[in-house]
């Protein structure tokens, strides 16, 4: 156990110098629980915490939940997992704090993920939390998603990309596999804002995910100009040339750095647009933008915190 009177400075050191993830979970029903995570930088409220600190010279994944590691089965999933009351510390390496691959119906609460990239000026790449699926080939592994997971009270700080949702091309022979129907409640993300690739929430090959009360801050305002985006809808087209990050929903989004859509000139997926209900635009923050001449209202629909509606009357 960490030191009782100075737990913040006595973490559990994860990794022994070998390759692969630090903590690898490959079975159903595993519960990884601590006794407190520092979800704020405010003085006086840190309290005791359980901190898992990466302890290798190179980047890696601190905690990995992955059905494929248990033996190759293209349709295997794992579920009923939990990670709660933990701080995950990447020690400034550009790795991944928490990785879910083909994980279903699991719970993640009171998690702080920190220091997932090198010091300012280094190369970007560190990810706080990543949801994905490696199910392949997609023609015969339809629906082997990372899905139905619940996240509550999540704090990601000092990452290049805070939360990433990804998968495979979601329109295969029938439909393939992606990150879908995951729920996030009370999320705060602090990205560096020093690279164009710095993103709070990064969406690709994912649909029907729901975010309640999300705040993204670019953490180095003293460096001009600030770069990156709060939300990047990377609508990389699927094999039918249709946008493939679709029908994701935000309820009260405070996006430091704004919302940006890639591949915005591609046709919308039949599932529809990403929708933001309560877009709280702070002073000096940009309205939603795209990578083409396509107006944002064509590929997004949003209501500002003042009740102004955009994109609800335009389908194409």
Instruction: Please report the pLDDT score of residue 40 as a whole number.
Output: 75
As a whole number, mean pLDDT of residues 125-147 equals 83
DSSP, residue by residue, 81-97: -EEEEEEEE-TT-SSEE
- Phi-psi region for residue 12, left (φ > 0), alpha (ψ -120 to 50) or beta? beta
Q: Containing H/E element for 298?
A: helix 296-299
- How many CB atoms are closer than 10 A to CB 13? 15
Q: Of the ranges 4-8, 176-180, 224-228, 265-269, which one carries the lowest mean pLDDT score?
A: 4-8
Q: By percentage, how much of the chain surpasses pLDDT 70?
A: 83
Binning pLDDT at 50, 70 and 90, where does residue 281 land?
Answer: confident
**Secondary-structure breakdown of the chain: helix, strand, coil percentages, each rounded to the nearest 5:** 5, 40, 55
Nearest Cα residue to 269 out of 295, 253, 290, 248: 248
Backbone angle region of 200, left / alpha / beta, with phi > 0 → left and psi within -120 to 50 → alpha? alpha
Q: What is the mean pLDDT of residues 56-74?
A: 80
Give yes or no for a contact between 242 and 269, defined as CB atoms under 8 angstroms apart.
yes
Cβ neighbours, 10 Å, residue 169:
18
- To which residue do tokens 């089965």 refer? 73
Which structure tokens are listed for 102?
């083909």
Q: Tell me what pLDDT residue 240 has.
A: 75
Q: Is 174 left (phi over 0), alpha (psi -120 to 50) or beta?
A: alpha
Q: 20: which 2 tokens?
A: 């692969």
Residues 286 and 314 sit within 8 Å (Cβ to Cβ): no
Q: Check if the beta carbon of residue 230 is closer than 8 Å to that of residue 256.
A: yes
Q: Which of 197, 205, 199 is nearest to 162 (CA)?
A: 199
Residue 20: band (very low, low, confident or very high) from pLDDT cuts 50, 70, 90 = low
Measured distance CA(253)–CA(187) in Å, rounded: 10
> What is the total residue count of the chain?
316
- 194 vs 9, 10, 126, 191, 312, CA distance in Å? 28, 30, 13, 9, 33
Please state the pTM of the whole predicted model: 0.92
Which of 28-32, 103-107, 191-195, 228-232 has the weakest average pLDDT?
191-195
Decide if 217 contacts 191 (C-beta within 8 A): yes
Predicted pLDDT at 56: 86
Residue 274 corresponds to which tokens in the numbers above? 């990403």
Stretch (H or E) spanning 297: helix 296-299
Tokens 């601190």 identify what position?
Answer: 62
Nearest-angstrom CA–CA distance, 181 and 239: 22
Classify 245 as helix, strand or coil. Answer: strand
3-state class of 67 per DSSP? Answer: helix
């Amino acid at each position: 156990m960490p030191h009782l009177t100075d737990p913040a400075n006595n973490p559990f050191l994860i990794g022994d110098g070998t390759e692969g993830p630090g903590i690898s979970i490959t079975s159903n029903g595993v519960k990884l629980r601590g006794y407190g995570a520092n979800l704020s930088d405010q003085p006086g409220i840190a309290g005791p915490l359980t901190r898992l600190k990466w302890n290798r010279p190179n980047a890696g994944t601190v905690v990995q939940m992955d059905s494929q590691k248990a033996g190759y089965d293209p349709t295997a999933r794992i579920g009923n997992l939990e990670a709660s009351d933990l701080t995950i510390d990447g020690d400034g390496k550009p790795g991944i704090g928490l990785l879910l691959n083909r994980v279903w119906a699991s719970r993640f609460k009171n998690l702080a993920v920190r220091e997932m990239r090198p010091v300012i000026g280094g190369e970007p790449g560190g990810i706080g939390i990543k949801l994905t699926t490696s199910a392949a080939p997609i023609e015969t592994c339809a629906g082997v998603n990372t899905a139905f997971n619940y996240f509550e009270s999540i704090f990601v700080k000092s990452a290049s990309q805070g939360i990433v949702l990804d998968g495979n091309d979601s329109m295969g022979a029938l439909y393939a596999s992606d990150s879908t129907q995951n729920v996030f409640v009370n999320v705060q993300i602090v990205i560096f804002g020093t690279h164009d690739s710095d993103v709070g929430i990064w969406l690709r090959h994912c649909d029907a995910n729901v975010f309640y009360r999300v705040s993204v801050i670019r953490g180095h305002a003293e460096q001009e100009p600030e770069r990156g985006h709060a939300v990047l809808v990377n609508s990389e087209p699927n094999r039918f040339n249709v946008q493939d990050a679709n029908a994701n929903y935000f309820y009260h989004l405070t996006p430091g750095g704004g919302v940006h859509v890639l591949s915005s000139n591609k046709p919308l997926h039949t599932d529809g647009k990403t929708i933001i209900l309560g877009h709280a635009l702070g002073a000096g923050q940009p309205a939603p933008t795209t990578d083409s001449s396509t107006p944002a209202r064509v590929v997004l629909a949003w209501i500002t915190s003042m009740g102004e509606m955009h994109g609800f009357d335009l389908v194409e």
